[in-house]
Structure 1
């Protein structure tokens, strides 16, 4: 082997992505291999020194052969359970790293409202009011037209959850483990329920011991039953009117997934890697599906299928009745923190390190488009007939340049319509939008890690 660069495709089942091997001398003057995969834009990574075996070469986790006649290099990752392989040909050099997304905004909010803590939780709305929680422990009810405060309710602990607006009430889960049912008119509690999740300690990307526990379960209601997951690993079913427990279902990890109810089944994910389907009336397990890694996102139902992403970097579509896989899509190592939204037969979902918002045919799994947003699109997209809205998480202390912002893109093409960006500054570690947006009355609402609630005309 001699120094040089090879480029081509990394192959997994029927998917491919651009992939490169660069052979050059390392600091110890050994010829070594470095990998580069533009879809996950980390700098090239060292694999190891190249060794000649009897019929092939090895370098760390890869092995390969070179056909000198065809100038073709083929190889694989022998220890990969996925059976990843690659086919490469000589190229002049590695591609240039992509340019960071511009921090120039092309839209401005109609109004903002300042809370006393970063906003990680999603926004919800009825006809006139937007509801959103903050790390200051308060649920806020704001006028959609002006952003003026209508009422607020303090839970006593940080809020990462999405409010559920149902009939005349709002349901909100706090990090003290309590689910509150509040009057929609004035925020006065009707009942509260202890989910036993208060002892779980959340870790965030800017903590001294960092983690990525930014999601939280939230309430879902069907046929008079409130369903909510807990950090203690249980899914609870609660009587909507009395607040009394009806049943609970135990998993082996915290539940940050928001339940989805369809076909008289409750679907939800767990840190224990499984997507669960339980009987909505009795809590009896119907089936479970192992995604291979923890689930922090929430399932979405459409046309007989339940769709969910995992930190295995896989997006799965399963038959809702049986749990049998209908299709899957691999995100090349990028966690899927985002939950999906379905509109007119299309699934819209973000991920993480690949920084891509994607649109799929929900029935077949065909990738229709992807839009590079330049940051981690963890939010659940909000979708209209013409536009998809998504926020991005910005992280200044990470191996990939992540920019925080909020984007509107064309629903059919993924082309950008407008953006609202936060400046990357030396004194801020994390910034942007993790709060999923909500659409109401021609406006889109969301919260920022700067503690502000934003209202935009869409």
Structure 2
């Protein structure tokens, strides 16, 4: 189902406005309610198509201008990680324990890798080695060949991994429920160092030139030396942090379960500002940052844009349902998932009300 949102003074081609609602398996069989199964993933745009996963177990490809379905690929469980597009494939994991590479144009499966455990981490791509990396709830980080899905190596933590990996200088960083942040070689998975936060690390880390940033359920953000893993600074927030850290121009951005969104200095951890969103802030991908604003969603059903320098409110969009993934800014349009996948103007002049 697609819905058209009203837009004043703009053609639909210049700035698309639409809302797409996934249909659960129960609804398709006529046995379910009319409630949407929901979307917990940040979309990806590639060659005029929008890709995202849904709680109904599908990955969708929609036309960017009107939200019509190009194709739908069904898995055996909810898709709660954002997809990665590389080598003309859409790559993603599912709660059914499988990692999929699906043709971006046709939606046909290229290959499938069975990890045997739910996959809720967003994959990353190493163009030098042509590897894809992702982690599963069985506590294992995998490196696969992009073209056929063959496993090159894996490395195991002592707890489940819900922290999406990041890569810098051919090193991969990821957290685990065992309270550790790991640094491993992107080439062979050999451990370089690990840092003990003494609390589960479920947020995606971030990296600048020489500092790795991580956060834990205890509500603490750490700045670590990229080479040694030693602590440079720490910042104590007001609640558990399960939000992917973002880095931009010397600031580290993150939200927490208390509904606060923070900016701290990358070198010192000094707080620049905090903004109270009015709802829990969780996402497995970093906030969108563009045109002087940082944009994020929260449990109160709003996508908020605040100044990336002082945290003052620029605008907000309301969907009426929890926003559990970071929005995507693309060509002056905000794309975000909630009960539906929405495309709305990026200036906040349009409420995301599905018609």
TM-score by length of 1: 0.66
Superposition deviation, residue 127 in structure 1: 4.5
Q: 1:362 aligns to what?
A: 266
Structure 2 matches for 1:153-168, cutoff 5 A? Answer: 153-168=73-88
Q: State the distance in 1 between where 2:291 and 2:214 align.
A: 23
TM-score by length of 2: 0.85
Structure 2 matches for 1:41-440, cutoff 5 A? Answer: 110-116=17-23, 117-198=37-118, 216-222=120-126, 223-332=129-238, 334-353=239-258, 355-379=259-283, 380-393=286-299, 403-423=300-320, 431-440=321-330
Q: State the distance in 1 between where 2:261 and 2:137 align.
A: 28
Superposition deviation, residue 422 in structure 1: 4.7
1:105-136 deviation digits (Å, cap 9, x = unpaired): xx999211011211122222225222111110
Q: Is the 8 A contact 1:127 1:441 kept in 2?
A: no
Q: State the distance in 2 between where 1:298 and 1:235 align.
A: 14
1:75-113 deviation digits (Å, cap 9, x = unpaired): xxxxxxxxxxxxxxxxxxxxxxxxxxxxxxxx9992110
Q: State the distance in 2 between where 1:313 and 1:249 align.
A: 27
Superposition deviation, residue 238 in structure 1: 0.9
3-state secondary structure, aligned to 1:170: strand
Kindly tell me the number of residue pairs found equivalent between the two proteins.
316
Q: State the distance in 1 between where 2:306 and 2:269 align.
A: 20
Q: Is the 8 A contact 1:127 1:440 kept in 2?
A: no
Residues 304 and 455 of structure 1: is their aligned pair in 2 closer, same or farther, counting only changes over 3 Å? Answer: same
Give unmatched runs, 5+ long, in structure 2.
Answer: 1-6, 9-15, 24-36, 347-355
Q: State the distance in 2 between where 1:133 and 1:110 align.
A: 20
Superposition deviation, residue 287 in structure 1: 0.6
Q: State the distance in 2 between where 1:126 and 1:346 align.
A: 28
Q: State the distance in 2 between where 1:183 and 1:422 align.
A: 31
Asked if residue 443 in structure 1 is aligned to residue 330 in structure 2, the reply is no
Q: Is the 8 A contact 2:303 2:327 kept in 1?
A: no
Range with greater deviation from structure 2 (154-163 or 413-422): 413-422
Q: State the distance in 1 between where 2:305 and 2:204 align.
A: 22
Superposition deviation, residue 336 in structure 1: 0.4
**Which structure is larger by alpha-carbon Rg, 1 or 2?**
1
Q: Is the 8 A contact 2:87 2:146 kept in 1?
A: no
Q: State the distance in 2 between where 1:129 and 1:414 align.
A: 32
Asked if residue 455 in structure 1 is aligned to residue 343 in structure 2, the reply is yes
Q: State the distance in 2 between where 1:236 and 1:422 align.
A: 36
3-state secondary structure, aligned to 1:432: coil
Residues 419 and 385 of structure 1: is their aligned pair in 2 closer, same or farther, counting only changes over 3 Å? Answer: closer
* Structural RMSD (CA): 1.8
Q: Is the 8 A contact 1:262 1:301 kept in 2?
A: yes
